[in-house]
Amino acid sequence: MTISAMTLSNQWRTRPAEDCFWTVSDLLKSARAEKTASVERDYHARGLTLVTDGGESDGLFVRGDGWTAPLGVSHHAFSQLAGLAKAPAGYLRSLPAELAADCVSVGLARRDRDERAVSLMANRETLTIRALTGENYSRLWSADLLEMVVGAMDASPSRYVTPPAWVGFGGVDDGSWSGPTRKATQADVGEWTRVKVGDTIRPAGLYYSPHDGRDTFAFFLNTERAIDLPRGGTGFRFLMLWNSESGAASVGAASGIVDVVCGNHILWGMRDVKEFRFRHVGDGLSARSHRELKSAFGVLDAAPWESKILKGSAEHILGATVADVDAAAVRATRLPLATIQAARAAVSARDYGHTGSAYAVASALTEYAQTLPRVEERVDLDRAAAKLYSITAE
């Protein structure tokens, strides 16, 4: 997932009504129910076959050695099954169901007899396979991740909200939304949102869809501890997090500062973005995620003293000339000179105050990081920017 000002809005725009929740408690309840209904078993790929339902629906089902009945397969799990059969999932979906089933079954039968088993995860109530993962896969249930989040929020002295969202773009209902709505009240609004009292809003910002590989996404805003920004105005700390229980994506989170969240869930004035993400491999995934979330909430809760740090970084001039500023930024961040120059050039039209200040260079780095395709590059730049933001705090 590439973090940008549109990340939250893209979720608002593409998630169906059944994926959306009003409250984090409702989201957690759904995730708990899915975990309870799920079962995990190890099977050898050679012992699995793909069959049709024998009717006109083109339905595909998985049979296993010793099973009493076949299981349905989700869209994401079908892709994983196709990978085990060493066949392209997109091409298989274009074939008639019986031909696709035969291709996958032949591919699975050719797997090495001595290879390790794969872990099959299915919902025992819907009788649907959600995931087929390898021996090194480490699952983090969204219910467990959300338990960590709820615990952190309960222990926090701050108030966290998921900003309201309009039903349609610009607040205009185009009839495409089929889910619940209500009118925004005074409790829903503040200087951190462009939604007004009386606007029609819908559940958004909290998503869970166990039938979809991207299943979990959540967004929270610390509305109680505002940050006075160096160039005037007020900012608010946000936290977005995501997880996939079926191996489609990493578990991770991003935090930063945002000026305002519009009703389309676009994040305006996003800056100082920091990310963490873990692949679903190895032991201790839950513990690592918990540590990072606690740290993220610690940063969000510390918003008032951050105002002083940001103001100090805006007043700290790195050098008298462009060359001096670049050299000082390189020393402070250990980034290549070309990266510093590219970041400053990419945001040269933005008003971050004195272009030679630590704040301006750090803001340029965090904004530039959001344009990079590789997660590792973005995280490296976010960490480097953090050193500049806090350069006067030492």
Between β-strands 71-73 and 128-133, what pairing exists: parallel, antiparallel or unpaired?
A: parallel
Residue 15: pLDDT above 90?
yes
State residue 353's pLDDT score: 79
> What is the distance, to the nearest Å, from the Cα of residue 97 to the centroid of all Cα atoms in its chain?
34
Q: Which long-range contacts (CB under 8 A, 24 or more apart) does 335-339 make?
A: 335/365, 335/380, 335/381, 335/384, 339/381
CB 221 within 8 A of CB 163: yes
Instruction: Kindly report which listed range (38-47, 186-195, 230-239, 278-287) carries the lowest average pLDDT score.
Output: 278-287
pTM metric for this prediction: 0.79
Average the pLDDT over 11-24 and give the result.
Answer: 95
Confidence of residue 32 (pLDDT cuts 50, 70, 90): very high
pLDDT at position 348: 65
Average pLDDT over residues 341-354: 79
Is the Cα torsion angle 19, 40, 80, 78 positive or negative in sign?
A: negative
CA 311 → CA 230, 237, 315, 390, distances in Å?
5, 16, 6, 10
Top-confidence residue, 135 or 181: 181
Whose tokens are 């059944």? That residue is 18
Looking at the chain, the whole-number percentage of residues with pLDDT higher than 90 is: 52
Q: Once rounded to an integer, what is the mean pLDDT over residues 161-172?
A: 91
Using one digit for the tens of pLDDT, what is the confidence trace for 96-125?
Answer: 999 999 999 999 999 887 788 899 999 999
* Backbone angle region of 359, left / alpha / beta, with phi > 0 → left and psi within -120 to 50 → alpha: alpha
Q: Would you say residue 175 has pLDDT above 80?
A: yes
Is the pLDDT assigned to residue 393 strictly greater than 50?
no
13-34: average pLDDT: 96
| Residue of 71 and 381 predicted with greater confidence | 71
Give the model's confidence band at 303: pLDDT under 50 very low, under 70 low, under 90 confident, else very high: low
pLDDT given for residue 163 in this prediction: 97
Quick one: pLDDT band at residue 344, thresholds 50, 70, 90?
Answer: confident
* pLDDT beyond 50 at 289: yes
Q: Where are the domains of the chain?
A: 7-35+139-301, 45-116, 307-389
pLDDT at 305 > cutoff 80: no
